[in-house]
Amino acid sequence: MLIGVAVTALALAVVFALLSWLALERSRDRIVRAAVELDASLAVVSDTLRRALDASLAERRAGTAELGLVLDLDELLALLAREAARRAETDAAAVRVEGPADEPALGVFGPDRVGRLLESASRAAGERPFRALTVDWTFPPLLESKEDVFRSALLVPVLEGGRETGAIGAYSRRPQAFRPEHAHALEALAAETADAIATARRFAAVSGRTATTRRASSVDGSS
């Protein structure tokens, strides 16, 4: 009888071990399946983010490439000012560079006065080279409540062959509106369009055109 009990106990132990092994295998299979599904989901998310980033970069490069096809210096600077405002997430910008015969050429997006602000702020930077310059204006109490004043600005130089030939300025009616990413965006824009500016300047010199101030709004027909 003891032998029968022992055999039964051994059989139960074997069955229990088998059931435990099967449960462990099922659990392991579930973990593996979950890991595979998670990896697949992450791959989909990663691919979606990559495609979105590629599309964004393609759109930006296409816009810059389009600027590179503009030979009229005044029109180019006006379009460049509009692109600067878009990248800096504001509604006013200006671009001022050396024009033919050393005459300054100016493009404006927004109120005309941003061109004058750009010129005065560029002089304030002095002769020393700079990567980016932020300006914040404060006003007396009587003017502080006015909505039509610019309270902050961001400037980056335009470099051609390592030489500073102008500046791009973005302006906001909000104080301290610009962050480092805006500076990086305008620096990239200046670098992307330096060759286009040089080409347009040469074309203006050859065609005998003089530099004028052009507003971006006049380019696309809006007021």
| pLDDT for 146 | 67
**Angstrom distance (rounded) from CA 170 to CA 191:** 16
| pLDDT for 96 | 93
**Angstrom distance (rounded) from CA 223 to CA 211:** 21
| pLDDT for 69 | 73
pTM for this entry: 0.63
Our measurement of the distance from residue 59's CA atom to the centroid of its chain's CA atoms, rounded to an integer in Å, reads 11
Phi/psi of residue 106, nearest 5 degrees: -135, 135
Q: How large is the angle between the packed helices 180-207 and 2-68, nearest 10 degrees?
A: 30
Domain boundaries, the chain: 1-69, 71-219
**Angstrom distance (rounded) from CA 106 to CA 118:** 10
Instruction: Provide the residue-wise pLDDT of the chain in tens; the chain has 223 residues.
Output: 545 545 455 555 555 555 565 566 666 666 556 555 655 554 554 555 455 445 444 445 545 667 767 889 999 999 999 999 999 999 999 999 999 887 889 999 999 888 888 876 665 555 666 788 888 888 787 666 666 788 899 999 999 888 888 999 999 999 899 999 999 999 999 999 999 999 999 988 887 755 554 555 444 433 3
Give the CATH architecture of domain 71-219.
2-Layer Sandwich (3.30)
| pLDDT for 223 | 34
Phi/psi of residue 149, nearest 5 degrees: -120, 145
| pLDDT for 52 | 47
Residues contacting 147, CB < 8 A, separation 6+: 173
**Angstrom distance (rounded) from CA 221 to CA 1:** 106
